[in-house]
Structure 1
Amino acid sequence: MKSQSLRSLLAGFIALGLTVTAATAQAAPEYRWKLAQTWPTNFPIFSDAVTKMADLVEKMSQGQMTIRIDSKNKHKAPFGVLDMVKGGQYQMGHSASYYWKGKDLNTLPFTTMPFGMTAPEQYAWFYYGGGMDLMKKVYDRHGVYAFPGGNTGNQMGGWFRKEIKGPADLKGLKMRIPGFAGEVLSKLGVVVTNIPAGELYTALDRGTIDALEWVGPSLDINMGFHKIAPFYYTGWHEPATELLFIVNKERFEELPSHLQAILATAMEFAAYDMYARSYHESAVNWAAIRKDYPHIKIRTFPKAVMDRMKEENRGLVADKSASDPLFKEIMDSQSAYLKKVREWTRISDYAYLKDNLE
């Protein structure tokens, strides 16, 4: 979507909010919410999306509803957002579901899965392929509603101090990589850890980890990882990473219907806007990589490594599906939808790009 279209859509949303609330705002009760985010204060793109959502809510509600944003710098629990929202400390949160996969593995597929759907495919699954219903089914057990919260697009495979020439090079490697991909790499001998964004550079610099994946050019260059680990690999593990807004169910249902609609609209707009911003920033920074950082070595994992990753991924999905009917239901839904939508991707986007890349 072009920026002009986004601005027009945003103007329409604001006008809608003003129209809906104009007659009632003076006498209506006020709602002062707090949101806990995984990200540091003023973290580019991710935190910006949260701020945009909160600003939209305040404008469309004419100040009847405001949302204060607390970063990890304040609440000190970057991976504890789900617990804080379900426990009522915060009415809302913004994070990624793979940060609490240890509490409920069934939340994980709503952020991303290795070798899964691209962002357009994933959004289609969410809104028209049954994804939202399944996500509600999973998060109902935690007393929260979950909403798409912004997509990074296809992520890069990570920064490595040394080149990966075969599966043997992964054994004993200490790497920050979250989600199901971490489970896959563990099977290949990688020592997997998860580290908050603000601590990644220090961990890599001090040798606490040998490699890490973060996002892609949109955020990685500004983090400075290339100064330490020059091998930059293309992705396999997160073809479309959807962050999530989560909302305490009781607090959401206490809102009047017009504020529920305003909040849902603001979250959806912020999610799509973040996807567009991520794509733009990746393109800008990719150009900078090619021009200004000649020491960065772009690599793709060898076929032998990719084959092992795919094999282990299939095995893990099968094992977890066999032991958890709900996980199987989610994966069956994603697999069936991917099979259907990928045929269209193949004859549309893939065919166009294959014939027109210069």
Structure 2
Amino acid sequence: MMKRRYLLKAAAAGSLATAIATPAIAQSSPKISWRLTSGFPKTLDTIYGAAEEFTRIVSDATDGNFQIQAFAAGEIVPMPEAADTVAAGTVEMAHTASYYYWGKNAAYALGTAIPFGLNARGMNAWYYHGGGIDLMNEFYHTQGLHVFPGGNTGVQMGGWWRKEIKSLEDLQGVKMRIGGMGGKVMEALGVVPQQIPGGEIYPALERGAIDAAEWVGPYDDEKLGLNKVASYYYYPGFWEGGPTLNFMINLAKWNELPKSYQAIIATAAATANQSMLAKYDAKNPGALKSLIAGGAQLRPFPEDMMSKAFEVSNALYAKLSAENPDFKKIYDNQVAFRNQANMWNQVAELSFDVFMIRNRPKG
């Protein structure tokens, strides 16, 4: 009898301990379900894939307690509305390019890419070790968002053109799909910019609604079939030297998360960010060879076009800096970082790359 009472007391004590311990565990690892709207179609596995990799890491790191479901562009939110929808809290997250929203405030463009800005390595260095994440989030918080880098394509191509571009004169009146601030610069050169989601570029180019289109580079462009509706493939995409994608999170939802979940999100975003760039670097060479074998005409942009675009870009930045304190604060910091990075690149990286490219096996 005494033994039975002892066992009952022990069981009760165990139950009490469990009741006390469980809430503490639940508080540190709550079950949370979010939705993430992507700015990209699922067919673009490398760029859309960053969202899938991110959500998988978050789930694995929390033993499935924090679930984020990714949706392709347009499934729940049209691409142009992603930032506003996240800020409003209708959807908790988006994976997109912040420069799509530069019309709301030019500072958004600096979170992804501006013409003649930093390259991919420079953007990562600036974001992670040059104060870029804090500086951008100082601005994003005024927009109801908390944001992390979410992938990089590396310097992009200058797009697909129906006709050959030999000088500035050939740009006049060309209707071109181009996003971000690059469209403003190209407009000053005579182009008529069109902002069209990735999944709609092919039909627009095929039916002649546009005369040229830029997207990313060989791997994605071949997947979209752009080589089938335009022959001339230009480089470089000077408007996107190192375009950084962005994981946008509703600020209030971010602040509600346990610190451990915030750390997991930051780590998952950083992993997806680096992984995307590595995938593009691995996949683009073979895709470029395939496109050329299929008849693509590879061409560099004319020098007079590049020089004029550089001049127009700097004039635009001066104007925006005079009008917009948010833009000026981030831009000045980013340019100072770019100038230092380019000095180092010229000394070691450039000389090494040029030598190795000159001496690569032919064919």
Task: State if a TM-score over 0.5 links the two structures.
Answer: yes
Shift of 1:74: 1.4
User: Distance between the aligned counterparts of 2:216 and 2:251, measured in 1?
Assistant: 30
Matched, 1:269 2:275: no
| Native 8 Å contact 2:28 2:260 kept in 1 | no
Matched, 1:117 2:149: no
One-letter amino acid of the counterpart of residue 227, structure 1? K
The residue aligned with 1:92 is 93
Report matched runs for 1:279-318 at 5 Å: 279-290=281-292, 292-293=293-294, 295-318=295-318
Per-residue CA deviations over 1:215-254 (Å, capped at 9, x if unaligned) read 0012001111111111000111111110000111111111
| Native 8 Å contact 2:29 2:62 kept in 1 | no
User: Distance between the aligned counterparts of 1:53 and 1:157, measured in 2?
Assistant: 29
Secondary structure (helix, strand or coil) at the match of 1:233 reads strand
The residue aligned with 2:31 is 30
Per-residue CA deviations over 1:43-91 (Å, capped at 9, x if unaligned) read 3111111001101111110011000112223124111110110000111
Matched, 1:158 2:159: yes
Q: 1:128 to 1:28 in 2, by over 3 A?
A: closer
Q: 1:289 to 1:24 in 2, by over 3 A?
A: same
User: Distance between the aligned counterparts of 1:60 and 1:130, measured in 2?
Assistant: 27
The residue aligned with 1:171 is 172
Of stretches 310-319 and 322-331 in structure 1, the one that deviates more from structure 2 is 322-331
User: Distance between the aligned counterparts of 2:355 and 2:341, measured in 1?
Assistant: 20
Shift of 1:120: 0.7
One-letter amino acid of the counterpart of residue 170, structure 2? D
One-letter amino acid of the counterpart of residue 341, structure 1? A
User: Distance between the aligned counterparts of 1:283 and 1:158, measured in 2?
Assistant: 16
The residue aligned with 1:198 is 199
| Native 8 Å contact 1:321 1:327 kept in 2 | yes
Per-residue CA deviations over 1:32-53 (Å, capped at 9, x if unaligned) read 1111111123531111110011
| Native 8 Å contact 1:25 1:61 kept in 2 | no
Per-residue CA deviations over 1:260-302 (Å, capped at 9, x if unaligned) read 1111111111111111111111122123234x32x21111111
Shift of 1:28: 4.2
The residue aligned with 1:53 is 54
Quote the RMSD (CA, aligned, Å): 1.5
Matched, 1:139 2:113: no
- Which TM-score applies when normalising by structure 2? 0.89
Structure number with greater Rg is: 2
One-letter amino acid of the counterpart of residue 157, structure 1? G
Q: 1:316 to 1:229 in 2, by over 3 A?
A: same
The residue aligned with 1:149 is 150
User: Distance between the aligned counterparts of 1:241 and 1:306, measured in 2?
Assistant: 19
One-letter amino acid of the counterpart of residue 248, structure 1? N
User: Distance between the aligned counterparts of 1:287 and 1:232, measured in 2?
Assistant: 12
Of stretches 240-249 and 23-32 in structure 1, the one that deviates more from structure 2 is 23-32
The residue aligned with 2:344 is 344
The residue aligned with 1:10 is none
Q: Which runs of 5+ in 1 are unaligned?
A: 1-22
User: Distance between the aligned counterparts of 2:291 and 2:228, measured in 1?
Assistant: 12
One-letter amino acid of the counterpart of residue 80, structure 2? F
Q: 1:34 to 1:208 in 2, by over 3 A?
A: same
Secondary structure (helix, strand or coil) at the match of 1:51 reads helix
Shift of 1:164: 0.5
Shift of 1:118: 1.0
The residue aligned with 2:251 is 249
User: Distance between the aligned counterparts of 2:43 and 2:207, measured in 1?
Assistant: 25
| Native 8 Å contact 1:25 1:64 kept in 2 | no
Secondary structure (helix, strand or coil) at the match of 2:75 reads helix
- 4+ runs of 1 displaced by more than 4 Å? 25-28
Aligned-pair identity (%): 37
Q: Which runs of 5+ in 2 are unaligned?
A: 1-23
